[in-house]
Amino acid sequence: MPAKVNPKVQVARLSVLSNSFLILLKTFAGILSGSVSIISEAIHSSMDLLASIIAFFAVRISDHPSDEKHNYGHGKIENVSGVIEGLLIFIAAGWIIFEAIKKMIDIQPVESIGIGSLVMFISAFVNTVVSRKLYKTAKETHSVALEADALHLKTDVLTSLGVAIGLLLMWITKLHWLDPIIAILVALLIIRESFELLKRAFFPLLDVAWDQDELHKLKTIFTDLNVNHHDVKTRRAGNYRFIDFHIEMPPDVPFEQVHDFCNLIEDEIHKTFENVQINIHAEPIEHK
pLDDT by residue (tens digit) across 168-197? Answer: 887 888 777 777 787 788 778 778 877 877
Residues 160 and 262 in one domain: no
For the chain, what is the largest distance between any 2 Cα atoms, rounded to a whole number of angstroms?
87
pLDDT, position 266:
93
Rg, C-alpha atoms of the chain: 25
CB 178 within 8 A of CB 170: yes
Whether 196 and 217 map to the same domain: the answer is no
Distance of CA 12 to the CA centre of its chain: 11
**End-to-end CA separation in angstroms for the chain:** 60
Higher pLDDT, 153 or 249: 249
The torsion of the CA quartet 70, 72, 77, 79, rounded to 10 degrees, works out to -150
Does residue 68 fall inside a structural domain?
A: yes
Question: Element (H or E) spanning 199, and its range?
Answer: helix 178-202
Residues 82 and 219 in one domain: no
Domain contains 120: yes
Q: Are 146 and 229 part of one and the same domain?
A: no
User: Does residue 115 share a domain with residue 77?
Assistant: yes
Q: Which of 282, 268, 109 is nearest to 180 (CA)?
A: 109
Under the banding of pLDDT at 50, 70 and 90, the label for residue 38 is: confident
Whether residue 13 is found in the same domain as residue 90:
yes
Last residue of a domain, one of 138, 170, 205: 205
Domain contains 86 = yes
Indicate if 152 and 77 belong to the same structural domain.
yes
Residue 85: domain span: 7-205
User: What tens digit of pLDDT does each residue of 107-156 get?
Assistant: 666 677 788 888 888 888 998 999 899 888 888 877 777 877 787 787 77
**Residues 6+ positions from 4 with CB-CB distance below 8 Å:** none
Question: What per-residue string of b and e applies to 139-154 under the rule 16 or more CB within 10 Å gives b?
Answer: eebbbbbbbbbbbbbb
Q: Which of 169, 185, 205 is the last residue of a domain?
A: 205
Domain boundary among the residues 205, 231, 247 is at 205
**pTM metric for this prediction:** 0.61
